Amino acid sequence: MSLKKFVLIPVLIGVLAFAIQVVDQLLAPSMPPESNVGFSWICFQSWAVYFFAGGTVKGGIKSFIAYAVGIGASILIMLMGGSLAASLGFCAVPLAVGVIACAVIFFERNEWTSLIPALFIGAGAFFAFMNYVPEATFAKAAFTEIIYCMIGLVFGYVTVTLRSIYESKVKE
């Protein structure tokens, strides 16, 4: 790849990363929970997920579904762990994680829910949200994570589209 063809691509990625931060700073004050400081980290995760899902619209849709299933799995883990805490103590949450993690692996048998790594990333983002945002509720955290996930997936799509257009126009 020639220098001319390569140089603009990192600049494009930098501009898009800049844009995610701008969108986050504009969006954060209106997103739940109140007084949040932004969740661009979720955008960057889902932007990366778009690429490991193949960099296609179908991969983006599968990524979105996986994030949603991951959020649902996280909620089930928290509910199950909480309900077992009185009787199992220390083992309650590990047991809930084990049971739900085992169950979600069955999703890989379906074409649209088979992106298990994205499911675990969505679940991890939800756990982080719930653990580090004290006023978060399941509904508020799920809503906000889904919005930021979609933003990142859109940026993945835009990245692939602009890069393809640019590379097709610039000759070696």
Confirm whether 36 is domain-assigned: no
Residues spanned by the domain of 126:
58-172
pLDDT exceeds cutoff 90 at 104: yes
Confirm whether 170 is domain-assigned: yes
Tell which wins on pLDDT, 10 or 97: 97
pLDDT in tens, 113-156: 999 999 999 999 999 999 988 889 999 999 999 999 999 999 99
pLDDT in tens, 6-36: 778 888 999 999 999 999 999 998 888 887 7
Confirm whether 6 is domain-assigned: no
Which three-class secondary structure state does DSSP give residue 55? coil
CA distance linking residue 107 with residue 156, whole number of Å: 24
pLDDT in tens, 56-74: 999 999 999 999 999 999 9
CA distance linking residue 121 with residue 172, whole number of Å: 38
Tokens encoding 36: 């949040």
Confirm whether 104 is domain-assigned: yes
pLDDT exceeds cutoff 90 at 41: yes
Which three-class secondary structure state does DSSP give residue 172? coil
- Confidence at residue 2, expressed as pLDDT on a 0 to 100 scale: 67
Rounded mean pLDDT of the chain? 92
Q: What is the total count of domains within the chain?
A: 1
- Confidence at residue 172, expressed as pLDDT on a 0 to 100 scale: 59
- Confidence at residue 57, expressed as pLDDT on a 0 to 100 scale: 96
- Confidence at residue 141, expressed as pLDDT on a 0 to 100 scale: 94
Confirm whether 84 is domain-assigned: yes
pLDDT exceeds cutoff 80 at 38: yes
Tokens encoding 124: 């991890």
pLDDT exceeds cutoff 90 at 165: no
Confirm whether 11 is domain-assigned: no
- Confidence at residue 85, expressed as pLDDT on a 0 to 100 scale: 93
- Say if residues 60 and 156 touch (Cβ distance below 8 Å): yes
Confirm whether 102 is domain-assigned: yes
Confirm whether 28 is domain-assigned: no
- Confidence at residue 5, expressed as pLDDT on a 0 to 100 scale: 67
Q: Look at phi and psi of residue 141 and say left if phi exceeds 0, alpha if psi is from -120 to 50, else beta.
A: alpha
Percentage with pLDDT > 90 across the chain: 77
Encode 124-143: b = buried (16+ Cβ within 10 Å), e = exposed: ebbbbbbeebeebebebbbe
